[in-house]
Amino acid sequence: MKKFIVLNLLYFLGVLTFASADSVYDNFVQCFAGAKIPDAQISSIVYSPNNASFAKVLESYIRNRRFNVSTTPKPSIIVTPTAASHVSAAVLCAKKLGVQLKIRSGGHDYEGISYVSAATFVVLDMFNFRSIDVNMTDETAWVQTGAMLGEVYYRIWQKSKVHGYPAGVCPTVGVGGHISGAGYGNLLRKYGLTVDHVVDAQIVDANGRVLNRQTMGEDLFWAIRGGGGASFAVILSYQIKLVPVPPTVTVFRIEKAYDENATDAVFQYQQIVDKMDNDLFIRVLLQPITKNKKRSVRATFIGLFLGDSSRLLPITDSQFPILGLKKSDCQEMPWINSVLFWGNFDNKTSPKALLSRTPDSVNFLKRKSDYVKTPISKSGLESLFAKMVEIGKVGLVFNSYGGRMSEIPASETPFPHRAGNLYKIQYSVNWSEEGEAADKNYMDQIRQLFSFMAPFVSSNPRQAYLNYRDLDIGTTDNGKNSYSEGQVYGLKYFKGNFDRLVKIKTAVDPDNVFRNEQSIPTLNFQGRRRSR
Ligand SMILES: Cc1cc2nc3c(=O)[nH]c(=O)nc-3n(C[C@H](O)[C@H](O)[C@H](O)COP(=O)(O)OP(=O)(O)OC[C@H]3O[C@@H](n4cnc5c(N)ncnc54)[C@H](O)[C@@H]3O)c2cc1C
Ligand SMILES: *[C@@H]1O[C@H](CO)[C@@H](O)[C@H](O)[C@H]1NC(C)=O
Ligand SMILES: *[C@@H]1O[C@H](CO)[C@@H](O)[C@H](O)[C@H]1NC(C)=O
Ligand SMILES: *[C@@H]1O[C@H](CO)[C@@H](O)[C@H](O)[C@H]1NC(C)=O
Ligand SMILES: *[C@@H]1O[C@H](CO)[C@@H](O)[C@H](O)[C@H]1NC(C)=O
Ligand SMILES: *[C@@H]1O[C@H](CO)[C@@H](O)[C@H](O)[C@H]1NC(C)=O
Ligand SMILES: *[C@@H]1O[C@H](CO)[C@@H](O)[C@H](O)[C@H]1NC(C)=O
């Protein structure tokens, strides 16, 4: 009892005393010193808003201009650890001082929750943790979470031309958020998710301890493979198992305008998408366009085939004839060049481009997600295309499921969207106009299309992909950690796996040190006093 009163007192003192950025800085510096971090290290890893490079460090990994405006709440300090001891100290000091800790790796969170908060907060920025050690003896790699996917692909390629890793297609996405949130890319139908190939991890838990798979236990290891790292721990690194890729793969990109049978092609895609050869992955982009001065919709089919075109063509001819894929549409290349192709680099680009840590441009953007379990009828597709034209700028991306995804049980990892899904939809809108009016316009547009799609997609609950973070589907008051609020988005992201995540969260972080707008809530056991 006494302990709780003291903790509560400390907490309230914290709120009163440490509210200004200056005092958060002073208190963290003092707390770090108490944790035996040498002064020289403290002064090179802790940034207050008064430090000249504070803004630059903060902006370096902002990937959505919506959160790069003057009204965006800023952290009180940024900590840029270079050693596990710095991460432990940051966790323990945030806990002690009652300040929220936001963990950032690649900064690609679509809602910016790795570096924005309504509460007083500190950013733990992992960009110095970016080593990648590929071991071809056991075909694994230890990858620190501040590394980016492009760097991972490049380092694997340096060691082997016939190994790859099934993860996202955008090379600047960070390992920390991507893997802890499940991760997928164009090897999904052949090999499943990114987390289906994680064999070990190193973390710092809520008590500041550095743990690996064996010492954290299988429950926590399960949770950090798709449940979102930021509810459970700071992930320092993952050990990933590489997968084989053939020496030659084939890619294609075929556009079909509305008057080129786009409706029929998308309709047929839905019939075969989950059943086609596991070596084939096809993404469809649906975009509103203006053609011959008329507004309409265009479908673009982007494919990756793990083999050469002579094996691919008979497959598409028999299963997906409307696509009309021809030998001349096919480009054959080593796997690493297909990574560049999918990353929209032109075909003369050297793999070295994958080492670039900055994207070409950053826009204002908003994303949402859905899962489709039964094909949309032709008339349904027609109505969708008409709606897209009417709404304006929102595009859709379909990513084919089936294959290996249907073979892995829904409870294998926290990511529950396996068998029974034909494809996932990403809703996408980008804009470059500044100001609240533009924000409102485009946010309204994407919400309108999302609401129009309700009859065509999963329901009860309407499912969503954690890594396509969407605060529209529910949030929790950061500090309160309410179970009933958490359940709203939690069931959409995790379905039947939500309860196991809650139990694990309650066991490993009962004080809710690792909290955010959509974190996993703790259960309120009888006898435990909630202090916040
Ligand atoms: C351009 C673009 C392309 C994308 N393409 C794909 C794709 O092909 N496939 C796909 O699956 N997803 C894709 N995504 C989504 C992407 O996987 C998620 O946004 C992912 O969470 C980003 O990870 P990050 O480390 O870059 O982000 P961050 O913003 O740094 O982090 C995202 C979340 O993870 C937490 N987190 C980050 N690092 C750690 C850590 N070390 N320990 C604990 N928690 C941590 C953060 O606190 C935050 O909650 C894409 C996103 C963008 C912007
Ligand atoms: C931030 O500013 C303080 C005070 O000038 C300085 O001691 C510290 O080294 C700076 N921190 C960094 C990371 O540059
Ligand atoms: C963020 O804003 C700053 C200052 O206006 C600008 O220099 C920087 O390029 C912007 N970065 C992003 C990613 O929008
Ligand atoms: C690579 O993996 C093998 C087999 O697990 C192991 O014996 C070896 O020590 C590893 N090499 C390095 C450099 O870690
Ligand atoms: C559209 O389909 C029809 C019949 O299925 C076919 O004759 C026609 O050539 C196709 N048009 C295009 C542009 O592919
Ligand atoms: C590279 O792209 C150009 C233009 O799109 C194309 O003509 C050429 O055949 C491509 N080269 C290879 C090797 O695929
Ligand atoms: C938004 O921009 C991204 C990245 O450039 C692009 O991949 C996507 O297709 C765009 N979305 C729309 C609807 O134009």
According to DSSP, residue 460 is labeled S
Residues 6+ apart with CB under 8 A from 420: 373, 406
- DSSP states of 322-378: GG---GGG-EEE-HHHHHHHHTT--TT--GGGGG--S-S---EEEEEEEEE-SPPPH
Please work out whether the CB of residue 17 comes within 6 Å of at least one atom of ligand 6: no
Cα separation, 373 vs 371, in Å, equals 7
Beta strands of 182-315 (E only): which ranges?
A: 198-204, 210-212, 234-241, 243-244, 249-257, 280-291, 294-305
Separation of alpha carbons 73 and 16, rounded Å: 19
Q: pLDDT of the chain along its 532 residues, tens only?
A: 444 444 444 444 444 444 577 899 999 999 999 999 999 999 999 999 999 999 999 999 999 999 999 999 999 999 999 999 999 999 999 999 999 999 999 999 999 999 999 999 999 999 999 999 999 999 999 999 999 999 999 999 999 999 999 999 999 999 999 999 999 999 999 999 999 999 999 999 999 999 999 999 999 999 999 999 999 999 999 999 999 999 999 999 999 999 999 999 999 999 999 999 999 999 999 999 998 999 999 999 999 999 999 999 999 999 999 999 999 999 999 999 999 999 999 999 999 999 999 988 899 999 999 999 999 999 999 999 999 999 999 999 999 999 999 999 999 999 999 999 999 999 999 999 999 999 999 999 999 999 999 999 999 999 999 999 999 999 998 777 899 999 999 999 999 999 999 999 999 999 999 999 999 999 975 434 444 3
Query: In sequence order, what are the beta bridge partners of 225?
Result: none
Contact 255 CB / ligand 5 (< 6 Å): no
Residue limits of CATH 3.40.462.20 in the chain: 249-333+363-456
Is 53 touching ligand 6 by the criterion CB < 6 Å?
Answer: no
d(CA 341, CA 16): 53
Residues labelled as active-site residues: 468
Cα 205 to averaged position of ligand 4 atoms, centre (Å): 26
CA of 141 to the centre of ligand 4 (A): 10
| Tokens (6 digits) for 397 | 């991306």
Atom of ligand 6 nearest to the CA of 332: 14
Q: Which fold has domain 2-125?
A: 3.30.43
- Ligand 5 pocket: which of 261, 264, 323, 325 to mutate (most atoms within 8 A of CB): 261
Is 531 in a helix, a strand, or coil? coil
Given the DSSP bridges, would you call strands 280-291 and 395-400 parallel, antiparallel or unpaired?
antiparallel
Q: Where are the beta strands (DSSP E) in 93-197?
A: 100-104, 121-125, 132-135, 140-144, 163-164
Per CATH, the number for 132-244 is 3.30.465.10
Atom of ligand 3 nearest to the CA of 63: 13
Closest CA to 493 of 472, 463, 523: 463
β-bridge mates for residue 283, sequence order: 302, 399
Handedness of CA 239, 242, 243, 249 (dihedral sign): positive
Residues of the chain with CATH 3.30.43.10: 2-125
Q: What is the per-residue pLDDT for 481? A: 80
Q: Candidates 53, 59, 172: which one to mutate for ligand 3, based on the most atoms within 8 Å of Cβ?
A: 59
| Any ligand 1 atom below 6 A from CB of 234 | yes
How many Cα neighbours within 13 Å face the side chain of 272?
21
Output the six-digit token pair for 386.
């008409």
The residue whose CB lies within 8 Å of the most ligand 4 atoms, and thus the one to mutate among 131, 136, 137, 241, is 137
What is the assigned CATH class of domain 249-333+363-456? alpha beta
For 30, the 3-state DSSP assignment is helix
Please name the residue that has the structure tokens 């063509």: 313
Model pLDDT, residue 506:
97
Q: Which long-range contacts (CB under 8 A, 24 or more apart) does 302-305 make?
A: 302/251, 302/252, 302/253, 302/342, 303/250, 303/251, 303/252, 303/253, 303/254, 304/186, 304/187, 304/249, 304/250, 304/251, 304/280, 304/338, 304/342, 305/249, 305/250, 305/251, 305/279, 305/280, 305/281
Please identify which residue in the block is written with the tokens 């990114």: 194
> In which residue ranges of the chain is CATH 3.30.465.10 found?
132-244
Indicate the helix (H) or strand (E) that contains 452: helix 436-452
Q: Whose CA is nearest to atom 11 of ligand 3?
A: 59
Query: How many residues in total does the chain contain?
Result: 532
Residue 225 is predicted with a pLDDT of 98
In this structure, the residue with its CA closest to atom 1 of ligand 5 is 261
109, 98 in Cβ contact below 8 A? no
Question: What crossing angle do the helices spanning 436-452 and 378-391 adopt, rounded to 10°?
Answer: 170
Torsional sign, CA 43, 45, 50, 53: positive
N-terminal to C-terminal alpha carbon distance within the chain: 16
Read off the pTM. Answer: 0.95
What is the amino acid identity at position 174?
A: G
CA 110 / ligand 3 centre spacing (Å):
16
CA angle at residue 117 from 111 to 123, to 5 degrees? 95
Ramachandran sector of residue 248 (left: φ over 0; alpha: ψ -120 to 50; beta: rest): beta
Amino acid in position 110: Y
HSE on the CB side for 501, CA within 13 Å? 33
Q: Centre a 10 Å sphere on the Cβ of residue 140 and count the other Cβ atoms it contains.
A: 18
SS3 track for 216-247: HCHHHHHHCCCCCHHHCCEEEEEEEECEECCC
Residue 525 pLDDT:
54
pLDDT at 524: 73
Q: How far is CA 220 from the centre of its chain?
A: 19
Secondary structure (H, E, C), 111-135: CCCCCCCCCCEEEEECCCCCCEEEE
Measured by CA distance, the residue closest to atom 2 of ligand 7 is 430
Residue 317, token pair as written in the block: 């001819």
AA letter at 331: Q
Instruction: Check residue 19 and give its pLDDT.
Output: 52
